[in-house]
C-alpha cells in the first residue's frame, strides 16, 4: 500500500512538495537572472552550457526533456550560443539524422566564468544550512526525483501495451 502523506480533505497547495520545489526554482531564477543579464546571458543559456559541460545532455532533445522546455524556444537559445561561438553542432556519427551539441573552448571558458556567480548565490541561500542538512536535502531530492521517474515509467508501461496494434 502506498503511504498517504497527503489527504484530499486537508491538502493545501502551499504545503505541497511540488509547489515548494517550483517556488524554490522561481526564487533561484530571480536571484540568478540579474547576474547572468549583467554578463550577457540568460538562465536558459546557462542551463544549456552546464548540461553540456557536465555530460548530462548531448543534444536538444535531452535538454528539452530534462527541463520540459519547448524545443522551438530551446533551438533559439542554442542558435544564440552557436552564433556566439560557445556551442557547436555536430552530426552524430552513428545516426546522421541526429545532431549532437558540444561546448567550444570559448563556451567552456564562459561556463567556468559563470560558475562563481551561481556558487555565491547558492551559498548565500544555504547559509543557514549545516553541511549535514544540505547533504540530506540533496539526498531527499534525488530520492524524490527517483520516485517521480519510477511513476512515469510505471504509467508509461501501462499505457504502451494498450497502444500496440494487434493483428
- Residue-wise pLDDT for 6-65, tens only, equals 999 999 999 999 999 999 999 999 999 999 999 999 999 999 999 999 988 888 888 888
What does the pLDDT read at residue 57? 85
On average, the pLDDT of the chain sits at 90
Residue 50's closest CA among 62, 35, 40, 39? 62
Residue 1 belongs to some domain of the structure: no
Residues 101, 138 within the same domain: no
Percent above pLDDT 90 for the chain: 70
Residues 39, 77 within the same domain: yes
Residues 145, 99 within the same domain: no
Residues 80, 148 within the same domain: no
Q: The domain spanning residue 65 has which CATH number?
A: 1.10.10.10
Q: Which residue has the cell 524554490?
A: 24
Residues 6+ positions from 156 with CB-CB distance below 8 Å: none
Residues 19, 91 within the same domain: yes
Residues 106, 142 within the same domain: no
Domain that holds residue 36: 13-128
Residues 101, 26 within the same domain: yes
Q: What is the number of domains present in the chain?
A: 2
Residue 8 belongs to some domain of the structure: no
C-alpha cell at 23: 517556488
Residues 47, 68 within the same domain: yes
Residues 115, 47 within the same domain: yes
Q: Is the pLDDT of residue 80 over 90?
A: yes
* Confidence (pTM): 0.81
Residue 155: exposure state from Cβ atoms within 10 A (0-12, 13-18, ≥19): exposed
Percent above pLDDT 70 for the chain: 95
Determine the 3-state secondary structure of 91 from DSSP. strand
What does the pLDDT read at residue 167? 52
The answer to whether 107 touches 52, Cβ cutoff 8 Å, is yes
Residues 32, 73 within the same domain: yes
Give the mean model confidence (pLDDT) for residues 80-107. 91
Residues 60, 116 within the same domain: yes
Q: Which letter does DSSP use for residue 69 in this model? A: -
Residues 75, 114 within the same domain: yes
Residue 3 belongs to some domain of the structure: no
Residue 138 belongs to some domain of the structure: yes
Amino acid at each position: 500500500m502506498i503511504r498517504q502523506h497527503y489527504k484530499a480533505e486537508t491538502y493545501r497547495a502551499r504545503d505541497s512538495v511540488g509547489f515548494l520545489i517550483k517556488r524554490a526554482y522561481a526564487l533561484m531564477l530571480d536571484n540568478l537572472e540579474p547576474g547572468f543579464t549583467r554578463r550577457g546571458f540568460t538562465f536558459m543559456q546557462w542551463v544549456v552550457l552546464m548540461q553540456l559541460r557536465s555530460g548530462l545532455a548531448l543534444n536538444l532533445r535531452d535538454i528539452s526533456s530534462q527541463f520540459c522546455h519547448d524545443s522551438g524556444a530551446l533551438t533559439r537559445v542554442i542558435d544564440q550560443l552557436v552564433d556566439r561561438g560557445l556551442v557547436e553542432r555536430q552530426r552524430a556519427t552513428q545516426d546522421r539524422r541526429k545532431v549532437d551539441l558540444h561546448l567550444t573552448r570559448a563556451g567552456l571558458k564562459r561556463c567556468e566564468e559563470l560558475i562563481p556567480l551561481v556558487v555565491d548565490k547558492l551559498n548565500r541561500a544555504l547559509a543557514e544550512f549545516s553541511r549535514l542538512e544540505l547533504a540530506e536535502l540533496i539526498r531527499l531530492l534525488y530520492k524524490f526525483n527517483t520516485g517521480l521517474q519510477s511513476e512515469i515509467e510505471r504509467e508509461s508501461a501501462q499505457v504502451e501495451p494498450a497502444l500496440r496494434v494487434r493483428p
